[in-house]
Amino acid sequence: MTYKKTSTYVARPVDEHGNADYSPEENQIWQDLITRQIPIVQGRACDEYIRGIDLLDLPHDRIPQCPEVSSVLRDTTGWALEPVPALIPFDHFFSLLASRKFPAATFIRRREELDYLQEPDIFHEVFGHCPMLTNKACADFTHTYGKLGLKASHADQVMLAKLYWFTIEFGLIKTGTGLRAYGGGILSSKSETVYCLESPIPQRKPFDVMDVLRTPYRIDIIQPIYFVIDSFDVLFSLTEMDLIGMIHQARELGMYEPAYTK
């Protein structure tokens, strides 16, 4: 996703093989992030995510390289990681997804931003999103979403970003063992993984496309609203809907009042 317009981070350049050179401190930050997050997602992430983590077999002592993650994704769903700068425009983002390439900015957050970062770093992309890209329903939805966004106007791309936010980034799912998280924005966050499921504060609403499209959101706060799907078949069904038509309808109906204070 594209987030704020400027970044204080610079992505690491990659060599001809797609590998970046990370410092010992950067590798240590990865180790600190992954070793504390693995126990937190247990019992809170959906089974599909946990299976994805097992398949990826991510290293704990260093930042994984995009080619090694891509090799697993290609074997499971035909996806690959694509190294990108810190921030990319909507058109580039949708173009990559339409080609089954998931953008991964090759930088990792600074230690002073260990707990929260407004823009997606390599930990967010790899640990948060790549496990679910091993799941066919999520992988196919993300691919179709990319193709749709590539053809959309900028105004419609902004609305499509909202759909992505409330599913791939911050989605919850009902399971036989209770509510679980599948969104990468949740599962790469120490605090939000617990908060989204266990706090009495946020709203947890049944997933409805029109409600999602009419719901304002902010990227710089812990989320006040989460949408819950009954199964990953819901994501598959989205690929068969006239989403652009629904976006226009949502725009005509108007947006809901924000669930947060501006």
Which range of residues forms the domain containing residue 71? 24-253
Residue 17 labelled as part of a binding site: no
Catalytic residue numbers read: 124, 129, 169, 188
Q: Is residue 180 part of a domain?
A: yes
Q: Is residue 3 part of a domain?
A: no
Q: In the chain, how many domains are there?
A: 1
Give the position of tokens 């989205």.
238
State pTM to two decimals: 0.94
CATH classification at residue 208: 1.10.800.10
Q: Is residue 110 part of a domain?
A: yes
Q: Is residue 248 part of a domain?
A: yes
The answer, yes or no, to whether residue 4 has pLDDT greater than 70, is no
Residue 129 labelled as part of a binding site: yes
Q: Is residue 154 part of a domain?
A: yes
Q: Tell me: the pLDDT tens digits for 182-196?
A: 999 999 999 999 999
Q: Tell me: the pLDDT tens digits for 202-253?
A: 999 999 999 999 999 999 899 999 999 999 999 989 888 999 999 999 999 9
Length of the chain in terms of residues written: 262
Q: Is residue 262 part of a domain?
A: no
Q: Is residue 17 part of a domain?
A: no
Q: Tell me: the pLDDT tens digits for 145-189?
A: 999 999 999 999 999 999 999 999 999 999 999 999 999 999 999
Measure Cα distances from 105 to 73, 119, 124 in Å.
Answer: 17, 10, 9
Q: Is residue 259 part of a domain?
A: no
Q: What is the pLDDT of residue 78?
A: 98
Cβ atoms within 10 Å of 12's Cβ, excluding its own: 18
Cα–Cα distance measured from residue 121 to residue 119, given in angstroms and rounded to the nearest whole number: 6
Measure Cα distances from 69 to 19, 51, 158, 165 in Å.
Answer: 11, 15, 29, 23
Q: What is the pLDDT of residue 3?
A: 45
Q: How far is CA 159 from the centre of its chain?
A: 16
Inter-helix orientation angle 90-98/154-164, to 10°: 60
